[in-house]
Amino acid sequence: MEIVRRSDITYEEFVENHLKPGIPIVFTNASKVWKANGTFTPNWLRENFGERKTSHDNKEYTMKQVLDLIEKSTVENPAPYPFLFNLPSVLPELIEYVQPVGLNYAEPNWIDSSFFKRGTWGNALEMFIGGPGGQFPYVHLDYYHLSAWVTQLYGEKRFTVFPRGQEEFLYPDPNNYWRSQVNIFAPDYEKFPKLREATPISFTVGPGETLYIPFGIWHTAYSLTPTISVAFDQLSAINSIEFIKDVWKLKKKFGKLKAAYNVGYASMACLGCQIGDIFGVKR
Ligand SMILES: O=C(O)CCC(=O)C(=O)O
Ligand SMILES: [Fe+2]
């Protein structure tokens, strides 16, 4: 199967052919509405935000150090991946460059509602920086069954996605149900024989292109060049039930009482958003 790439898809077509059935798509020019498109380059970030900080594996780096590392990165000796910068907390000046955040397709997004802006429900808006050879550490499902939107703003990344329903071929870790135990970059078919039955779809996403990864789609990524992308998550009526189930699964390690409270809160917030959708509330 091949990834669908479209430049001219209407919102209604997107809903019917991708949102409802959960089929990924690459929008080839949806990000033209973002000022970030063409602006976000390593040099621009270095000159304007070189001292901003992030951490990776408990080690702190400045933006400048990150950019130096990814520019030196090679397949044989890759820089750590991914380096993440949370836009609202670390680079708030960049938020105006990614408007409208939803690119006129990721609507409605309940994550933008005041009910969920509390920082505990997955990552709202993040910049990913990587270099050649940098691979996302595992095939995974996104936390809370959120759907992901990844816009490539500089360089090229190779993504691999699996059609829905291939869990049994991917051996989810029993302790981390959202994380696969297989390494698709070096598959061990002796240990994971059913992996042969999986049908990965791999494709490259280039500058200006946006990948929509529906909830429940196992995926991973590999940086082919120095790369800068911006990703955000989407919650709406379509993934709200799975979202609430994940709230239980992810919070129960803090105790059943706390988990029950979180499930109650998430359910009421989803109901509030659902009612908001009916009345056309703008978020
Ligand atoms: O762009 C990437 O490296 C993939 C990111 C991803 O899958 C995630 O953050 O959940
Ligand atoms: Fe992901």
Residue-wise pLDDT for 145-178, tens only, equals 999 999 999 999 999 999 999 999 999 999 888 9
Whether 1 contacts 201, CB under 8 Å: yes
How far does residue 136's CA lie from ligand 1's centre (Å)?
Answer: 7
- Best mutation site among 127, 139, 219, 222 for ligand 1 pocket (most ligand atoms within 8 Å of CB): 219
Q: Cα separation of 159 and 211, whole Å?
A: 9
Average pLDDT of the residues in 93-97:
97
Largest CA distance in the chain: 54
State the pLDDT at residue 177: 86
Q: Dihedrals φ, ψ of 270, to 5°?
A: -65, -40
In ligand 1, the atom with minimum distance to the C-alpha of 223 is 3
User: pTM, whole model, 2 decimals?
Assistant: 0.95
Q: Cα separation of 107 and 111, whole Å?
A: 10
Whether 110 contacts 243, CB under 8 Å: no
User: How do the residues of the chain divide into helix, strand and coil, expressed in percent and rounded to 5?
Assistant: 35, 25, 40
47-78 b/e with 16+ CB inside 10 Å = b? eebeebebeeeeeebebbbbbbbbeebeeeeb
Helix axes 240-251, 256-278, angle to 10 degrees: 160
Domains, the chain, in order of start with CATH, read 4-109+124-234 (2.60.120.10)
In ligand 1, the atom with minimum distance to the C-alpha of 126 is 9
Which protein residue's CA is at the shortest distance from atom 1 of ligand 1? 221
Average pLDDT of the residues in 227-256:
94
State the pLDDT at residue 119: 58
Residues with CB under 6 A from ligand 1: 82, 128, 136, 142, 148, 150, 157, 219, 221, 229, 231
Radius of gyration of the chain, Cα coordinates, nearest whole angstrom? 19
pLDDT band at 112 (very low <50, low <70, confident <90, very high): confident
pLDDT band at 114 (very low <50, low <70, confident <90, very high): confident
Percent of the chain residues topping a pLDDT of 90: 88
pLDDT band at 35 (very low <50, low <70, confident <90, very high): very high
